[in-house]
Amino acid sequence: MKINLPTITAVLFLSAGLPGISAPATTPPASQTDELNKTCPISGRPANSSITSVYEGTKYAFADEACRTKFIDLRANSLYQKLGGKPAVDAAVESFYKKVLADIRIKHFFDDVNMDKQRRKQKEFLSAAFGGPTAYVGKDMRRAHANIPGLNESHFNAVAENLQKTLEELKLSKELIDQVMAIAASTKDDVLNRKPAAK
């Protein structure tokens, strides 16, 4: 995955205490998965099955107590959590693609795309970019957009506009919207497969 990590790290720590998207009332109860991870998500070392923490209904095992504490701190301070976690990101992506598919400037790009898969990949990508608990394992942004004929900056801006409108409709605070939009903007050079802009 190629996301602008400094940007993301910066926004993660700027976002404490801001109001998020409220979860839909129909959110199912969190369920716990049976398989415990064998590798510590913080250190990459072997996980100890007696040092665990539950986040969004999934139990995670860690190498030691310090890793467990770090994981809990990262989750609590993440933009992902401020937005409202999985139900909120899922709802935002659903609403976002409704707008994209109704936008005559860009909808043709998705004519032959499996939209169930696309929504799922976008949820995974954005969740990881916002500091959610699960790593993104899909194509990096350059590869994902390398073979899209005619894709240019005006299309990127149209996508960003739809994302911004979605977040505004969800009544997120300006601070949170700005952080999400900064993450989206950080993907621009990769999505358009161009050289990174000079700093």
**What is the full DSSP assignment across 102-152?**
T-TTTGGGGTTS-HHHHHHHHHHHHHHHTT-SS---S--HHHHHTT-TT--
Half-sphere exposure of 45 (CA within 13 A, CB side): 11
* Binding characters for ligand HEM, 137-176, by CB under 6 A (x = yes): -xx----xx--x--x---xx--x-----------------
Minimum gap (Å) between residue 13 Cβ and ligand HEM: 21
Out of 125, 166, 172, 180, the only residue in the binding site for ligand HEM (CB under 6 A) is 125
Residue 2 binding ligand HEM, by CB under 6 A? no
Q: Measured between alpha carbons, how far is 150 from 14 in angstroms, rounded to an integer?
A: 36
> Which residues does 72 contact at the CB level (< 8 Å), separation at least 6?
53
Minimum gap (Å) between residue 135 Cβ and ligand HEM: 13
Q: How remote is the C-alpha of 66 from its chain's centroid?
A: 25
Q: Check: CB of residue 50 under 8 Å from CB of residue 43.
A: no
Q: Measured between alpha carbons, how far is 116 from 113 in angstroms, rounded to an integer?
A: 9
Minimum gap (Å) between residue 69 Cβ and ligand HEM: 31
Residue 184 binding ligand HEM, by CB under 6 A? yes
Q: Which is nearer to ligand HEM, 37 or 110 (CB)?
A: 110
Count of positions on this chain that bind ligand HEM (CB under 6 A)? 20
Q: Across the chain, how many H-helices and E-strands are there? A: 9, 2
Residues 100-119 that bind ligand HEM (CB under 6 A): 106, 109-110, 113, 118
Q: Which is nearer to ligand HEM, 70 or 145 (CB)?
A: 145
Cα-trace Rg, the chain: 18
Minimum gap (Å) between residue 121 Cβ and ligand HEM: 4
Q: Where on the chain is the footprint of ligand HEM (CB under 6 A)?
A: 106, 109-110, 113, 118, 121-122, 125, 138-139, 144-145, 148, 151, 155-156, 159, 184, 187, 191
